[in-house]
């Protein structure tokens, strides 16, 4: 179907609609879409509400020279993207001195305090999206709340547990465990299909051969 040719009247109507739409739009340009993790700090002021208890976060805490948001009510801390790395850099043990495997690691680090009684999904203080729960370092047992765009929230005591995990060499042991898990998930066919299918084919094949043999030679 061909479009109708524009007339003076339709052009004027289009101009009026365009102007009306322009009047509806806000003066300020809309905020940009999702930003790179590294630029998260430019999105606005620090602070926001504590994901743990809803009280305001205060950008006052300093540890190892890194400033970050903390909650004065529940003791939780919010780390913007990159701040955890800054806080924990240099904690990994010298090569050869850290834990060699998970059993070795368990012997060196006390088990994290279980906080499973209050499992719930929490909102990122920056974007209000529900955060993911992640086992820090794959095997630490410290369950942190993470927004993949903005950072992560640690309950009171969890930063100390993360530090103990890293000091004992947990980062390398966790990376090895993750690599093994990835390798295990690679082979596509589940083993029970591999064994059951040829058996089924054999029995079908054998009975078909029997039928043909009987047809032709009996």
- Residue numbers at the binding site for Zn ion (CB under 5 A): 50, 52-53, 55, 71, 73-74, 76, 124, 126-127, 147, 149-150
Q: Please, what is the minimum distance in Å from the beta carbon of residue 165 to Zn ion?
A: 23
Local structure of residue 123 (DSSP, 8 states): B
How far apart, in whole angstroms, are the C-alpha atoms of residue 211 and residue 208?
5
The contacts of residue 93 (CB under 8 Å, 6+ apart) are 167, 168, 169
Task: For the CB of residue 174, give the shortest distance to Zn ion in the complex, in Å.
Answer: 24
Question: For residues 176, 180, 185 and 191, what is the CA-based torsion angle, rounded to 10 degrees?
Answer: -170
> Which of residues 34 and 90 has its CB atom nearest to Zn ion in the complex?
34
* Distance in Å, CB of 2 to Zn ion, minimum: 49
DSSP β-ladder status, 132-135 and 143-147: antiparallel
Shortest approach of Zn ion to residue 138 CB, angstroms? 22
Q: Which is nearer to Zn ion, 150 or 171 (CB)?
A: 150
Residue 149, Cα to own-chain centre: how many angstroms? 9
**Minimum CB separation from Zn ion for residue 173, in Å?**
29
DSSP-derived secondary structure letter, 35: P
Q: How far is the CB of 81 from Zn ion (least distance, A)?
A: 9
Of 109 and 124, nearer to Zn ion (C-beta) is 124
**CB closer to Zn ion, 78 vs 165:** 78
Nearer to Zn ion, 75 or 93 (CB): 75
Minimal CA–CA distance to 111: which of 136, 137, 133, 141?
141
Taking the least distance from each CB to Zn ion, the nearer of 73 and 172 is 73
Cα–Cα dist 205/197, whole Å: 12
The residue assigned the tokens 């913007």 is: 80
């Amino acid at each position: 179907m061909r479009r109708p040719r524009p007339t003076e009247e339709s052009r004027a109507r289009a101009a009026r609609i365009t102007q009306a739409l322009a009047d509806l739009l806000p003066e300020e340009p809309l905020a940009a879409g999702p930003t790179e993790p590294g630029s998260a700090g430019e999105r606005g002021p620090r602070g926001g509400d504590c994901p743990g208890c809803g009280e305001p976060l205060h950008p006052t805490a300093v540890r190892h020279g890194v400033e970050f948001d903390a909650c004065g009510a529940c003791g939780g801390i919010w780390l913007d993207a990159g701040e955890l790395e800054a806080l924990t850099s240099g904690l990994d043990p010298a090569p050869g001195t850290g834990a060699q495997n998970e059993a070795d690691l368990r012997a060196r680090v006390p088990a994290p305090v279980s906080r499973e009684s209050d499992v719930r999904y929490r909102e990122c203080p920056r974007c209000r999206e529900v955060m993911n729960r992640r086992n820090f370092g794959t095997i630490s047992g410290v369950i942190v709340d993470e927004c993949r765009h903005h950072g992560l929230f640690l309950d009171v005591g969890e930063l100390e547990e993360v530090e103990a995990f890293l000091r004992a060499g947990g980062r390398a042991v966790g990376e090895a465990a993750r690599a093994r898990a990835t390798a295990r998930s690679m082979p596509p066919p589940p083993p029970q299909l591999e064994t059951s299918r040829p058996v089924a084919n054999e029995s079908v094949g054998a009975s078909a051969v029997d039928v043909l043999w009987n047809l032709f030679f009996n």
